[in-house]
A and B are shown apart, each in its own frame.
Chain A
Amino acid sequence: MTDSDNIIFDTASRIFDDLSTAEVINEAEAGTWPEALWQAISESGLNLTWVPEENGGIGATLLDGFAVLKAAGGAALPVPLAETLFAGWLLAQAGLQVNGETATVASGELTLADGKLNGSVQGVPYARNAKQIVALVETAGKVQVVQVAAEQCDIAEQTNLAGEPADTVSFNAVAVEQTGEPGEGFNGENVEAMGALIRCVQAAGALSTALELTIEYSMERVQFGRAIGKFQAIQHSIAAFAGDVAAMNAAADAAAEAVARAPSIDHEAWIEIATAKTRLEEAVNNGAAIAHQVHGAMGFTYEHSLHHVTRRLWSWRDEFGSDVVWARRLGEEVLSWGADELWPRITTVTDAR
């Protein structure tokens, strides 16, 4: 993923730096919708990054969108940009129109009868702030992407560890606004995999921010007469942290690129996503721990902004299938390869097609 010389990425970074400030993030957690931030995002068209021009989008590439989401993760963005992009991507899979209003995806088991949606999904990110909820319904061999108005749904407010909305949404015979069929073979696993990938990319950005904060703090904070970064113990912790940050960025990029190479999420891309979500476990576990350890008690206060990224990291590793669930899925896949195909399956991703 390149993120230099890219006007979309530059625009996103500028908006996030200016408007996703510590105060805005804290106020959002307390329940104040960051209108100025969302307005700037909509005016720039970032909310339509993944939508093809014929479906109402701006025709940017999938990788442009992932670069934006990495920056969004790094900025602990307190608005559903990732969710809106995800919903737009899912609508576009079925050739449906996207208008860029706040949206989210309900990834779970739902039923559709006579144009009415039924069922309940837990942990729907930003459902309370969304105008639209998009879902995939699989019934009797038929797969459909559906869009409903969020105001028609019952939304029970819950939050994740970062205080981001993670609501329970009940659909009680909700009228469908638009519906369409995705391409052959597209199913709920693809939706969950895309959600997992989005979280990995955001987490790669959040880990990078946590590392930068940690490096800065280690050079400013003086103890025993010198900056704590001059102590070898601290240097080695931060070096190990840098390794996890680098690895998570590499794994997330690899998965994003695999999705961008395929028409949708093919089996190879699924394996790359499983790899990234599995790798997230250690990166978050070690990375967040080192970030807090180096920051000491200061980083443990609500006033310091380290928790904006670390709390998101602890949440994101669980969402769209936890890191451990994905490790088991990947392990099952590996077992299906068998001993003799293990190495060939590892190298195939980079071999000429």
Chain B
Amino acid sequence: MSVTRFRFPFVEMPAEATQLRQEVREFLTEERANGGYTPMADCWAGGLSAEFSYKLGQRGWLGMTWDKKYGGHGRSFLERYVVTEEMLAAGAPVMAHWIADRQSGPQIIKNATPEVRDAIIPRIVAGECFCAIGMSEPGTGSDLASVSTRAEKVEGGWKVNGTKLWSTGAHGPGCDYMITLLRTSPLDTSARHKGLSQFIIDLNTPGVDVRGIADIGGQVHFNETNFEDVFVPDSHVLGEVGGGWNMVVGELALERSGPERFLSTFIVLQEAMRLLVNNPTDQTKEVLGQVVAKIKTLRRMSLGIAGLLQEGSSPEMEAALVKDMSTNFERELLEKLRRILPQNVLYSSAGLLPTLLREGVLRVPSSTLRGGTNEVLKGMIARQLGIR
């Protein structure tokens, strides 16, 4: 019996991507050296710096794959992959633009009216305008179809009432829009996925109230956003009214297999290496061998999926598998490092490595929750395997 269920083809970066990698590395080395940023763990969900994002925009590293006719840079998915993985490996503060660059921008290009698209996309590309996701709600959790925040038809637009939760970055400077999933027809309990629509809501509209929520480390990265009689013009409906569900499902698939799923804690390993080279015990070697073998394998898989996406395939099972394994690995890496790092690093609250380690431990519970919990992913995998 020989079955090949999973495809992760070898991807060789084109010469221009390799050239780009060198440019990005030089930029990051210089920025780190001159205090432009301090490396951090989970930098894509916790490293908010509008200033840094603006610099990336000015270098042409945002909206890279978007068509030039809309203001993008018309570059390949692999070139974007290179920029994102370099930023993540360096622990650079890329949170401000992350959502807009990864999913809101493509969604707007595909589904917004030409006027709205032209008003927003060039600003995202320039690093001047950011977006947040408004999918989840209090009581929604993994069961996204249960959303109840509603939009009622009024003259010239819609009136929105309700609350969105976990909208990462909505409070940040320059975060002007939330792509929001709303119920536009009353709930039909026999077809809960129907009657949902996506809207681009300007967060500066009267009636929008963004309140930060502190995470277990006391940091405010996500929010609760309340909408009270918020008016949204018809022009800001994304795609068809009632077509929201398919849109969010597609968006979640885009979220799944990127390098941010296995590199969130990589910077801790890199900085730990500065100490570990001085104490090359068998245990240290074993741990380093095991974690690097995993990183290399996960990267091969993640990049293989990027290659398939570039060809136009949609490797759903592979993406779900990679996200499940990758996010578990982000925690495992920290736990393995704890075994080989000296006590004074584990106890200390001063210095780069102890700070990164603490940040990592306190941020990593969110790895296996965000973008679909690992339990939900495993259910999807089981369905794809045909057993569910």
A interface list, Cβ under 8 A from B: 3-4, 13, 16-17, 70-71, 74-75, 205, 208-209, 211-213, 215, 218-219, 227, 229-230, 232, 234-236, 238-240, 242-243, 245-247, 249-251, 253-254, 257, 272, 274-276, 278-279, 281, 324, 326-335, 338-339, 342-344, 346-347, 349-353
- Are B387 and A235 in contact, CB atoms less than 8 angstroms apart? yes
Binary flags per residue of B283-309, CB closer than 8 Å to A gives 1, else 0? 011111110111111111101100000
- Are B270 and A247 in contact, CB atoms less than 8 angstroms apart? no
- Which residues of chain A are within 8 angstroms of B378 by Cβ–Cβ distance? 235-236, 239-240
- Which residues of chain A are within 8 angstroms of B274 by Cβ–Cβ distance? 339
A279 to B296, alpha carbons, bound, how many Å?
10
29 contacts between A and B (CB under 8 A): A3-B4, A4-B4, A74-B3, A215-B386, A232-B379, A235-B387, A236-B379, A243-B321, A245-B5, A246-B6, A247-B297, A250-B8, A254-B300, A257-B10, A275-B297, A279-B293, A279-B294, A327-B285, A327-B290, A333-B289, A334-B289, A335-B276, A350-B11, A350-B13, A350-B299, A350-B303, A351-B13, A351-B17, A352-B14
Q: A71-B2, A230-B388, A339-B270 are in contact. Are A334 and B18 (CB under 8 A)?
A: no
A281 to B293, alpha carbons, bound, how many Å?
11
- Are B293 and A278 in contact, CB atoms less than 8 angstroms apart? yes
Is residue B60 within 8 Å, beta carbon to beta carbon, of the partner chain?
no
Partner of B288, one of A245, A253, A335: A335
- Are A331 and B297 in contact, CB atoms less than 8 angstroms apart? no
A242 to B380, alpha carbons, bound, how many Å?
12
- Which residues of chain A are within 8 angstroms of B269 by Cβ–Cβ distance? 342
- Output the nearest chain A residue to B299 by Cβ-Cβ distance: A346
Binary flags per residue of B21-45, CB closer than 8 Å to A gives 1, else 0? 1000100000000000000000000
Q: A247-B325, A330-B288, A332-B285 are in contact. Are A275 and B296 (CB under 8 A)?
A: yes
Is residue B318 within 8 Å, beta carbon to beta carbon, of the partner chain?
yes
- Output the nearest chain A residue to B296 by Cβ-Cβ distance: A275
A230 to B298, alpha carbons, bound, how many Å?
29
- Are A75 and B2 in contact, CB atoms less than 8 angstroms apart? yes
- Which residues of chain A are within 8 angstroms of B301 by Cβ–Cβ distance? 246-247, 250
- Are A218 and B387 in contact, CB atoms less than 8 angstroms apart? yes
- Are B295 and A346 in contact, CB atoms less than 8 angstroms apart? yes
Closest 10 CB pairs of A and B: A331-B285, A327-B289, A330-B289, A331-B289, A235-B382, A229-B387, A331-B288, A339-B273, A278-B293, A239-B378
- Which residues of chain B are within 8 angstroms of A344 by Cβ–Cβ distance? 25
Q: How far is the CB of A230 from chain B (nearest CB, A)?
A: 7
A236 to B385, alpha carbons, bound, how many Å?
11
Is residue B85 within 8 Å, beta carbon to beta carbon, of the partner chain?
yes
- Which residues of chain A are within 8 angstroms of B10 by Cβ–Cβ distance? 253-254, 257, 350
Is residue B115 within 8 Å, beta carbon to beta carbon, of the partner chain?
no
- Output the nearest chain B residue to A71 by Cβ-Cβ distance: B2
| Further pairs besides A232-B379, A334-B285: 12, Cβ < 8 Å | A215-B385, A239-B379, A239-B382, A246-B6, A254-B10, A275-B292, A327-B289, A331-B286, A339-B273, A342-B269, A342-B270, A343-B266
- Are B300 and A212 in contact, CB atoms less than 8 angstroms apart? no
Contact-residue size bin, chain B (C-beta under 8 Å from the other chain):
35 or more
- Which residues of chain A are within 8 angstroms of B293 by Cβ–Cβ distance? 251, 274-276, 278-279, 327, 330
- Are B386 and A243 in contact, CB atoms less than 8 angstroms apart? no
- Which residues of chain B are within 8 angstroms of A326 by Cβ–Cβ distance? 289
Is residue B196 within 8 Å, beta carbon to beta carbon, of the partner chain?
no
Q: How far is the CB of A273 from chain B (nearest CB, A)?
A: 11
A87 to B266, alpha carbons, bound, how many Å?
41
Q: How far is the CB of B27 from chain A (nearest CB, A)?
A: 15
- Output the nearest chain B residue to A245 by Cβ-Cβ distance: B6
- Are A254 and B1 in contact, CB atoms less than 8 angstroms apart? no
- Which residues of chain A are within 8 angstroms of B304 by Cβ–Cβ distance? 250
Q: A339-B270, A350-B13 are in contact. Are A243 and B325 (CB under 8 A)?
A: yes
Is residue B335 within 8 Å, beta carbon to beta carbon, of the partner chain?
no
A276 to B269, alpha carbons, bound, how many Å?
20
- Output the nearest chain A residue to B15 by Cβ-Cβ distance: A352
Partner of B324, one of A243, A250, A272, A332: A243
- Are A338 and B277 in contact, CB atoms less than 8 angstroms apart? yes
- Are A342 and B273 in contact, CB atoms less than 8 angstroms apart? yes
- Which residues of chain A are within 8 angstroms of B51 by Cβ–Cβ distance? none
Within 8 A of A (CB), among B357-388: 375, 377-379, 381-382, 385-388
Is residue B100 within 8 Å, beta carbon to beta carbon, of the partner chain?
no
- Output the nearest chain B residue to A209 by Cβ-Cβ distance: B1
- Are B280 and A332 in contact, CB atoms less than 8 angstroms apart? yes
- Are B387 and A335 in contact, CB atoms less than 8 angstroms apart? no
- Are A246 and B295 in contact, CB atoms less than 8 angstroms apart? no
- Which residues of chain A are within 8 angstroms of B18 by Cβ–Cβ distance? 351-352
A235 to B387, alpha carbons, bound, how many Å?
7
A301 to B88, alpha carbons, bound, how many Å?
49
- Are B289 and A278 in contact, CB atoms less than 8 angstroms apart? yes
Binary flags per residue of B320-338, CB closer than 8 Å to A gives 1, else 0? 0100110000000000000
- Are A212 and B270 in contact, CB atoms less than 8 angstroms apart? no
- Which residues of chain A are within 8 angstroms of B295 by Cβ–Cβ distance? 346
Q: How far is the CB of A207 from chain B (nearest CB, A)?
A: 11
Q: Which residue of B11, B85, B297 has the most chain A CB atoms within 10 A of its CB atom?
A: B297
A334 to B294, alpha carbons, bound, how many Å?
13
- Are A334 and B288 in contact, CB atoms less than 8 angstroms apart? yes
A246 to B271, alpha carbons, bound, how many Å?
30
- Are A235 and B2 in contact, CB atoms less than 8 angstroms apart? no
- Are B3 and A212 in contact, CB atoms less than 8 angstroms apart? yes
- Output the nearest chain A residue to B290 by Cβ-Cβ distance: A327
Q: Which residue of A230, A257, A331 has the most chain B CB atoms within 10 A of its CB atom?
A: A331
A114 to B144, alpha carbons, bound, how many Å?
77
- Which residues of chain A are within 8 angstroms of B286 by Cβ–Cβ distance? 324, 327-328, 331
- Are A208 and B2 in contact, CB atoms less than 8 angstroms apart? yes
- Output the nearest chain A residue to B325 by Cβ-Cβ distance: A243
Is residue B240 within 8 Å, beta carbon to beta carbon, of the partner chain?
no
Is residue B215 within 8 Å, beta carbon to beta carbon, of the partner chain?
no
- Which residues of chain A are within 8 angstroms of B271 by Cβ–Cβ distance? 339
